[in-house]
Amino acid sequence: MTPTQLLIAGQWQPAAAEATRDIICPIDERVIAQAAEADRMDTRRAIAAARHAFDHGPWRETNIRERARLLHRIADLVDRDAEHLAWLESLNTGKTLTESRTDMGDIAATFRYFGALVAGESGAVNEAPHHVISRTLREPVGVCALITPWNYPLLQAAWKIAPALGAGNTVVLKPSELTPLTTLHLARLLGELDLPPGVFNLVTGGAEVGAELAASLDVDLVSFTGGAAAGRHIMKAAADSNFKRVALELGGKNPNIVFADADLDIAVDRALDAAFFHAGQVCSAGSRLLVEDTVHDAFVERLAARMARIAVGSGLEAGTQMGPVQSAAQRARLMAMVEQAVSEGARVLTGGCAPQGESFRHGFWLAPTLVTGVTESMTIAREEIFGPVLAVERFSGETEALRLANGTPYGLAGAVWTRDLARAARMTRAMRFGTVWVNDYHPYFPEAPWGGFKGSGIGRELARIGLDEYTELKHSYINLAPAASGWFGA
């Protein structure tokens, strides 16, 4: 198979060292592609192209209506190739085609939302003396390094690309080395448009690429979605170089809280969505289920019965509800967490191993797993799982539920199930999370901000603030009647 290439200064080219990386399908462990493996020198060339395009090219001066039009055209191209993109996404990540098709619709909606937002941009006129024109302007930050994760490759790329380009920045994008295929296809779609060379650059590779982007003096902003350890390295490198702006989305340990007065049938149904959508490989997954003690046993019994009916299989086949996890390393990590939970006193009620059957001999499979008897001190209650493992804790009353929910270094998302609207309001205000759902789980839309408190990161994506992240504020002061009347005037 022909290795994919890097996109630098408008030209597709191999990595300088001609290194490649095998891209593995998690469904059956086949090599489905080979991606160019960039090194620091390749990354520097991409940064230089973006720097030149920003400093000397026409893009930053492009009329906002033209930038808005471009974002809408990208949305149209995503719609046009949506089925192929969905197939690529499922082949590369293992998620179901239903999930991937939903992602493609959300991606197009993201580009259209930011296109509409950019089209309405204007500066603000400030109150000032009669002989002064004072304006607040928003200008592009400059060269933006965008580093995206393996679980939602194209969706996370869209969340960053749309506001970055819409604000007039130039971009160097590094997709996850595990799942680059849909991002590569999007780069080809951008080639159908009239972007000046160097405005959008794509570099595939591993940690070496990310480290160079974070440390480069020619990068003005780095936006990263991924693990906390990598985020810490990026933040330190940014501080050690040029104090570039940093935006980090670092995952979560998200409580899904069920009170006894909730509609338990619906709560069971949505607890499955919260924990097992995309095999639980979602930063906002509700992998920590807190159930009020008076309904705990009945709720867990219903949950286990429903989990036994989840259709696990290839995401490319109709009827599949949950696919594999993304890699062998990820599966090994998950099974080690389950084993540790058992050693700490928890109980595996169902799952904890690969499903049985010939179709699961190859691939990175883990059956939906339910772990009960979990207490707040256990590792599985404190560390992000990122897989199809649901840990259940019990609580007694609102005060304890709130203490358990907030007792985590993360603060990305959480949910509350109750018919008591006053309780819902109290919990929503008191929970230290960037998103709190009530009687629902997982919905998001471009008009609402996304991001977390505490160890879940810095900054926000989507919404108005998601565009503001990619701009700098400037105060323009014009004195219409200058006079020699300063401190040291005549």
What positions carry a catalytic annotation? 249
Q: Which residue bears the tokens 């991937």?
A: 100
- The continuous run of DSSP H or E covering 91 comes out as helix 82-93
Q: Give how far Cα 185 sits from Cα of 81, 251, 375, Å.
A: 9, 26, 45
Q: How many CB atoms lie within 10 A of CB 260?
A: 17
Distance in angstroms (rounded) separating the CA atoms of residues 374 and 330: 22
CB 86 within 8 A of CB 126: no
Q: What are phi and psi of 386, to 5 degrees?
A: 60, 55
Q: How many CB atoms lie within 10 A of CB 474?
A: 11
Q: What is the largest CA-CA distance in the chain?
A: 93
Distance in angstroms (rounded) separating the CA atoms of residues 70 and 352: 47
Q: What is the 3-state secondary structure (H, E, C) of 433-481?
A: CCEEEECCCCCCCCCCCECCEECCEECCECHHHHHHCCEEEEEEEEECC
Q: How many CB atoms lie within 10 A of CB 13?
A: 13
Q: What is the number of helices (H) and of strands (E) in the chain?
A: 15, 22
> 3 Cβ partners below 8 Å, 6+ apart?
14, 20, 33, 34, 35, 36
CB 107 within 8 A of CB 186: no
Nearest to 159 by CA among 62, 71, 73, 287: 71
Strands annotated E in 119-261: 124-126, 132-140, 143-147, 170-174, 200-202, 221-225, 245-249, 255-258
Distance in angstroms (rounded) separating the CA atoms of residues 464 and 120: 11
